[in-house]
Amino acid sequence: MKIALASLAIALTAVPAAFAQGDAELSVGYSNVDVGPADVGALTGRGSYFFTRNLGVEGEASIGIKDDDVGLGTVELDHSVGAFGVVRAPVSDKFHMFGRVGYATSELSVSAPGVGSASGDFDGVAYGVGAKYFATERFGFRGDFTKFEGDDSDADVFSVGAVVRF
């Protein structure tokens, strides 16, 4: 987890300089996290900086906003953070495809009435693909899929949201 937080901090330190360069993007959206039998939802924020037309970094943080009842218990995403290297392929000025790979860590909680609660985390490699469509020069939409491969469990994450570039 320390590696992910340090990577995220390093990635986000580039944001102020990126605003002056015009190579930064901020996005917010909804992520559906499918982990084991649970299907939870999260509010996800991302900051991206591109060093070149095709290469950049991205940091993301998510907090759970939708729990899932599984059997007698409830599964909840407490938080998730990650840092990624990004390769983008601008198909046109308005449409970009991208791939990303990095490291992420997430913490989940499970509670059952009369039994109590427990929490656990999974961290490891995360990788995915996605696309962005810019309706205007600065505002667009983003959709992506990311596979989280943790120590003991995996998660599939589908995200949709809005993106603003500076």
3-state class of 126 per DSSP? strand
Distance of CA 132 to the CA centre of its chain: 14
- 49-101: pLDDT as tens digits: 999 999 999 999 999 999 998 888 999 999 999 999 999 999 999 999 999 99
Confidence of residue 10 (pLDDT cuts 50, 70, 90): low
The Cα–Cα gap between 57 and 32 comes to 22
Q: For the chain, give every domain's residue range.
A: 2-16+24-165
Confidence of residue 117 (pLDDT cuts 50, 70, 90): confident
| % of the chain residues with pLDDT over 90 | 68
Instruction: Give the model's pLDDT for residue 18.
Output: 43
- 29-51: pLDDT as tens digits: 999 999 888 999 999 999 999 99
2-16+24-165 CATH: 2.40.160.20
Contact 31, 39 (CB under 8 A): no
In b/e form, how buried is each residue of 76-112, taking b as 16+ CB within 10 angstroms?
A: bbeebbbbbebebeeeeeeebebebebbbbbbbbbee
Q: Which residues have CB under 8 Å from 130's CB, separation 6+?
A: 97, 98, 100, 142, 143, 144, 145, 159
What is the pTM assigned to this prediction?
Answer: 0.83
